[in-house]
Amino acid sequence: MGSSGITYAYTIDNEDKIISVSDNWQLFAEENQAAETLLPHMIENKPIWQFIEGPEATHLYANILKNIREHNKSVTIPFRCDSPDKRRYLKLTISPIQHNSIEFVSHLIREETRDTVDFLKFDLPRSNEMITMCCMCNKVKLAENFWVEVEGAIVSLKLFELNTLPKISHGLCNECYVIGMAELQN
């Protein structure tokens, strides 16, 4: 297991544009093999909605932001942000700040190394087929209401027997949707 206690943060303004990121953001992008798309100068002044995929995730985050702005109260949800060779378990605290701006702070709880999962690499050629991954727990949807860890999905879907890997879309599994909505109720 890796270290814990690391935080990554970004702030959005009242129009939901990313206006700042933490000093360690570039390292975060590089560790996730996303330097070509997520460096600070590439995401600042862009709407957060450009980086949230899938109708379920968009719905959850829209409700979270609305709730925070209306009630001036923070929300904390668990999530994972894996790289090809690490599982990262985090908690995300989304808090109101002045002028209807909102701060997102991801706090690393624990990190586990694993054999590299090529499927999670950004730079591989992809087909037009889509696979849905939960934006909170990183499980992959195999069937309606049936989600498994990415390693299990690779085996079940025989992904490495394909000539080209499918694209990854993001959604929200039922379990994480319930967790997110329950946090909003509090």
Question: Where do the domains of the chain lie?
Answer: 7-185
- pLDDT, tens only, 101-117: 999 999 999 999 988 88
- Range in 22-36, 54-68, 159-173 the model is least confident about: 22-36
pTM of structure: 0.83
Query: What does the radius of gyration of the chain's CA atoms come to, in whole angstroms?
Result: 17
What is the third-level CATH fold of 7-185? Beta-Lactamase (3.30.450)
Cα gap 62→42, rounded to integer Å: 22
The pLDDT score that the predictor gives to residue 1 is 39
Q: Residue 69 above 80 pLDDT?
A: yes
Which whole number is the average pLDDT over 13-32?
A: 89
Q: Which residues, 6 or more positions from 127, have their beta carbon under 8 angstroms from its beta carbon?
A: 162, 163, 164, 165, 166, 167
- pLDDT, tens only, 73-87: 999 999 898 888 889
Q: Strand, coil or helix: what is 76?
A: strand
